[in-house]
Amino acid sequence: MRIGIVFHKNPFGPPTGIDLVRLRAVAGALSRKRIEVEIVAPVKKEGELEDGIPVRGLSMLRQHGRYDLVKTCYHQSIMLVDEYKGPVVSRIVRVVDQELPERDDGARETLLSCQERIRGRASALALNNIENEHRWRELYGNDLPIVLAPTGCPANIPLSRGNPFEKDKPMVLFLGSLAAPRMVHILNHAARGLQGLAEVHLVGLNKACMYGGDEDCLLDLVIIDHGERMESDVWDYIRHAAIGLALATGPHGFDNDVSKILNYLRGGLPVLSEEPILNNDLVRQTRYGETFDFGNVDMLVQKALSLLEHPPTERRDQVMRFMAEEHSWDKRVETYVELFNRILTK
């Protein structure tokens, strides 16, 4: 079986954001399942990723019989497969309608167009969670088969190369993108509320300007901004922080599937997470952190101080093993393997 994974951006970029981290993780996990995988993308020069996964140009989709099936990664990827004649499995992060999520207003028509294309072209749809499955069914009916393939975490993580933090105060880490204006405001208030007791660190990018943010979406100077870091470097920030912070993009659960929680737990970092983030079920299941009410910064600060005073360190090793065994990328792609086999043996 040869699968083409269609990606709409340059896959040779450094794996700092979740898009490239997920692409490489899924491709690598499928390869370890003895499925031949190629990434197909709008690249001028073909090559291989560091782990040996080939990267091919879009012209490969015109070669009859080269791929038994192709999988797209995000909404926009479906627009690249017009010349491919075989079965397509599409994956999207969140289902957009005419009103929600509000932060997608600038791209709403494009995303809706992609969803219509998926509806008419795909053999199956992969989603992260059942909330988005319900939304798809309400909008488009039951014709398209849907599987749930959540984000995973590495089964193995790099050995420590040292503490990347410079000071001795406890570190509250926000990992990943700030992808809504409210997230910036909450983080700023939290950092000021914890000032003198703990430092708030951002490892990622402030992307609020892409989702309706303005000049009011600047980070407070009390926050230590490390910018993006390579995935291999991120684990030392997780190891040496005291709390991993997760913020909701808005009040709707379907728009709050937050992958950083899996990395926090995999790295042994207690989690402080805002409702209604869907992955809070993992925080409660592992009993390795706390949640706080939507928009309640006072509660965030109070629970952060409680976690700093009483960290659940006795559960650390157990939680890390559980995440590696039950929520790894290798475990996640079993869903894809079953789906591919089912489609190709019809």
Residue 317 has pLDDT above 70, yes or no: yes
pLDDT reading at 211 higher than 80? no
Comparing 13 with 290, the larger pLDDT belongs to: 290
pLDDT score of 298 more than 80: yes
Residue 290 lies in a domain: yes
Does residue 179 sit in the same domain as residue 317?
yes
Do the beta carbons of residue 203 and residue 173 sit within 8 Å?
A: yes
197-205 mean pLDDT: 97
Query: Do 67 and 196 sit in the same domain of this protein?
Result: no
Residues 175 and 305 in one domain: yes
What is residue 93's predicted lDDT score, i.e. its pLDDT?
A: 96
241 DSSP β-pair partners: none
Tell me, yes or no, whether 182 and 254 share the same domain: yes
What percentage of the chain has pLDDT greater than the value 70? 99
Are 118 and 19 found together in one domain?
yes
* d(C-alpha 91, C-alpha 7), whole Å: 11
* pLDDT band per the 50, 70, 90 thresholds, residue 198: very high
Shared domain check, 192 and 97: no
**Residue 214 pLDDT exceeds 70:** no
State whether 213 and 270 are in the same domain. Answer: yes
Using a pLDDT cut of 90, give the percent of the chain over it. Answer: 93
Q: Give the mean pLDDT of 56-63.
A: 97
Residue 297 covered by a domain: yes
pLDDT for residue 213 is more than 70:
no
Number of domains in the chain: 2
Alpha-carbon distance of 334 to 316, in angstroms, equals: 27
pLDDT tens for each residue of 64-93: 999 999 999 999 999 999 999 999 999 999
pLDDT score, position 47: 97
Nearest partner of 155 among 271, 50, 246, 29, judged by Cα: 29
Provide the H-helix boundaries in the chain: 18-32, 108-121, 130-140, 181-194, 231-240, 260-266, 280-286, 297-309, 316-326, 329-344
Mean of per-residue pLDDT scores for the chain: 95
Q: Report the pLDDT averaged over residues 168-194.
A: 95
Which of 233-256 are b and which e, b meaning 16 or more Cβ less than 10 Å from the residue's Cβ?
A: ebbbbbbbbbbbbbbbbbeebbbb
Same domain for 336 and 319, yes or no, is no
Question: Which whole number is the average pLDDT over 219-241?
Answer: 96
pLDDT score of 50: 85
Does residue 145 lie within any of the structural domains? yes
Question: Would you state the pLDDT for residue 167?
Answer: 77
Residues 311 and 336 in one domain: no
Over residues 193-214, the mean pLDDT reads: 88
- The amino acid at residue 341 is N
Task: Answer whether residue 99 is part of any domain.
Answer: yes
> How confident is the model at residue 215, as a pLDDT?
61
pLDDT grade, residue 275 (50/70/90)? Answer: very high
Q: What is the pLDDT of residue 217?
A: 86
Whether 21 shows a pLDDT value over 90: the answer reads yes
Tens of pLDDT, residue by residue over 109-124, are: 999 999 999 999 999 9
Average pLDDT over residues 89-103: 96
177 and 117 both lie in a single domain: no
Beta-strand pair 199-203/171-175: parallel
Report the distance separating Cα 328 and Cα 324, nearest Å: 5
Token pair listed for 264 = 């926090």
What single-letter amino acid sits at 240?
Answer: H
Contact, 223 vs 202, CB < 8 A?
A: yes
Residue 9 covered by a domain: yes
Are 90 and 181 found together in one domain?
no
Establish if 164 belongs to a structural domain.
no
Q: Is the dihedral of CA 11, 130, 101, 207 positive or negative?
A: negative
Helix (H, G, I), strand (E, B) or coil at 108: helix
CA distances from residue 31 to 77, 91, 296 in whole angstroms, order as listed: 21, 19, 44
Q: Is residue 191 part of a domain?
A: yes
CATH number at residue 245: 3.40.50.2000
Same domain, 180 and 236: yes
End-to-end CA distance of the chain: 15
Mean pLDDT, residues 145-168? 94
Which residues constitute the domain of residue 58? 2-152+329-344
Lowest mean pLDDT among 48-52, 84-88, 274-278, 336-340: 48-52
What is the pLDDT at residue 234? Answer: 97
In a domain, 166, yes or no: no
How far is CA 162 from each of CA 226, 235, 303, rounded to the nearest angstrom?
16, 10, 28
